[in-house]
Structure 1
Amino acid sequence: MAGTPTAPPKRALALGLVGACHPVPSLAVTAVSVLLAVGVGHDAAGVALIGAAVLTGQLSIGWSNDRVDAARDRETGRTAKPAATGEVPVGWVGAAAGLALAASVVLSSLLGVLAAAALLVGVAAGWAYNLGLKATPWSGATYLLAFGALPLAPYLALPGHPWPEWWVPVVGALLGFGAHFANVLPDLRADAATGVRGLPQRLGPRWGVVVMAAALAAASVVLGFGPTDTSTTFTLVAVGGGVLGALAAAAVAVRSPDSPAAFRITIAIALLDVGLLIAAAV
């Protein structure tokens, strides 16, 4: 029938959905959770369940972000956003977000009440960010909450539901806070054009870089000195690696403010810290 819109080819739709889910941060957060689950002693089934619960939650956050921001992304000409360019219909992105959210709730519930609460608090914080908090001074609080709660889940899903040491969620929260700034800094000009005024936008690029570097370095300092039974070598590696990484991320953000390189360095710092966290926990 003339004028009836046609659905995109299946391959194009699939690729568009992959591009709209924020694949790099989604996979990075999932990888961190899987590594931590292995490190604290989960069996293969437990690791797979934690990974699936985290991944579906991250997919729901990524897809909901692109669904909510489709018009804004179209206005600022963000060609890497499939929902904004029409590569994938926004309705499909919204449906994918809803399905992923439902899957995350179900999968998280299989881990037990406490572990599910930790994971779903993070998912709720991500959705709250997408639905409006990203444009307020409280944007950073959603990252502090989500990434502070995330590392609790692998511990709370163990038999007996043991709580981790205090420094575990603190390291996660600081890494998440730094990642917020690293992720937003390349988009400051586009955000200014569309009225998004989150914490990084209010601080501006100069102070944003300072806060990002300080948060990332602080995470590594807490990790280096928080555990009481680790070696001097552990402390030096944790603090030295994290501080150097934070300085590298700051240098890249200043030199190439529109590049995602600082965010990728942040992911590398997170993976280093998770490896060290596992070494300290076992």
Structure 2
Amino acid sequence: MSSTVLGLVRASHPEPAAAVTVVTGLLAVGVGHPPAGVAAVVGSVLASQLAVGWTNDALDAERDATVGRTDKPVAAGAVSLRTVAVGAAVAALATPALALTTTPAAALCITVALVSALLYDWPLKSTPASVLPYAVSFGALPAFVVLALPGAPAPPAWLVAAAACLGAGAHFANVLPDLADDARTGVRGLPHRLGPAGSRVAAAGLLLAATVTLVLGPPGPPSWAGLSAVAAAAVVPALGWYGGRAAVRAGRRPVAAFRAVMVVALIDVVLLVASGRVV
């Protein structure tokens, strides 16, 4: 039993699931949710993340086995495909049910985010439209958090746009280390079609756009901290790019560019959470 639970946890993509859940929880605190509201937001988002992660591993089990992904529990036989599929279905049904404890508009919003993310798992992952689910689902998350607060005004457009850019940039950054394995199994999303260089440019540009939007979007003049964040978002990916090229010349795996865009993504997450205080 314990091995099955551990396998389910590992198959849920626990790191990104935890990161997205924590960020939305902090944003809920920032916009003024009471403890019960924060719990409802966190529960809904966690359920949606579990549904998406388990669906992804269930659909990719054969592909993961082909490339020898021993870190994938379904492909490695640590948990059965049926168990993961049932878990995904239960989590998907729990997402709107938990969200309905807040407001109907919020429940609709998180359902849109969930359906969009599931459409990435299939069939959009291997198409030029692979970035769209990331933009839609990430853009819907802060809207869900705001709409879940009874009596709250509509979420500001700049907040939704910034989150959409952050999600789209994360898509290009997340794929960078796996481009070779994906190519072996026929995955041809937009990052694969652009190639490593094009994906780095796309990731850096989208994350810079998210940073600028989060700094200039809220009312009032931008702070020095915000302007410093914009400068960092412009400089850090360029440094990572040169580090990645040096790694290629030295025969090592080019992870510097990936790490650089992750630094900018972290900056954007901090700005996103801080934006809750001005929504």
| TM-score, with structure 2 as normaliser | 0.90
Query: Would you say the 8 A contact 1:63–1:97 is kept in 2?
Result: yes
Deviation at 1:78, TM superposition (A): 1.1
1:243 paired with 2:234, answer yes
1:57 paired with 2:55, answer no
TM-aligned CA distance change 1:181 to 1:251, over 3 Å: farther
Q: Which stretches of structure 1, 4 residues or longer, exceed 2 Å deviation after superposition?
A: 240-267, 278-281
RMSD across aligned C-alpha pairs, in angstroms? 2.0
Residue in structure 1 matched with residue 275 of structure 2 by the alignment = 277
TM-aligned CA distance change 1:267 to 1:25, over 3 Å: farther
TM-aligned CA distance change 1:212 to 1:252, over 3 Å: farther
Residue in structure 1 matched with residue 204 of structure 2 by the alignment = 213
Deviation at 1:263, TM superposition (A): 6.8
Query: Would you say the 8 A contact 1:185–1:253 is kept in 2?
Result: no
Count residues in correspondence: 272
Deviation at 1:210, TM superposition (A): 0.5
Query: Would you say the 8 A contact 1:249–1:266 is kept in 2?
Result: no
The letter of the residue matching 2:156 is E
Deviation at 1:157, TM superposition (A): 1.4
What do residues 203-251 of structure 1 show as CA deviations (whole Å, max 9, x unaligned)?
A: 0111000100111111001111122314442431442343345446656
1:34 paired with 2:25, answer yes
Deviation at 1:200, TM superposition (A): 0.4
1:175 paired with 2:173, answer no
- The separation in 1 between residues aligned to 2:35 and 2:235, in whole angstroms, is 34
The letter of the residue matching 1:34 is G
The letter of the residue matching 1:110 is T
| TM-score, with structure 1 as normaliser | 0.89
Residue in structure 2 matched with residue 265 of structure 1 by the alignment = 263
TM-aligned CA distance change 1:213 to 1:17, over 3 Å: same
Unaligned runs of 5+ in 2: 248-252
Of 48, 70, 73 in structure 1, the residue corresponding to residue 64 of structure 2 is: 73
- The separation in 2 between residues aligned to 1:34 and 1:72, in whole angstroms, is 33
Q: 3-state SS of the aligned residue for 1:67? A: helix
The letter of the residue matching 1:119 is I
Query: Would you say the 8 A contact 2:236–2:260 is kept in 1?
Result: no
Q: 3-state SS of the aligned residue for 2:154? A: coil
What do residues 150-208 of structure 1 show as CA deviations (whole Å, max 9, x unaligned)?
A: 11011111222411221100100000001001111111111111111100011011100
Query: Would you say the 8 A contact 1:143–1:177 is kept in 2?
Result: yes
Deviation at 1:253, TM superposition (A): 6.0
Q: 3-state SS of the aligned residue for 2:3? A: helix
Percent of aligned positions with the same letter in both sequences?
A: 42
Residue in structure 1 matched with residue 124 of structure 2 by the alignment = 133
Q: 3-state SS of the aligned residue for 1:143? A: helix
Moved more, 100-109 or 129-138: 100-109
Q: 3-state SS of the aligned residue for 2:161? A: helix
Query: Would you say the 8 A contact 1:72–1:194 is kept in 2?
Result: yes
Of 6, 9, 31 in structure 2, the residue corresponding to residue 18 of structure 1 is: 9
Of 75, 83, 87 in structure 1, the residue corresponding to residue 78 of structure 2 is: 87
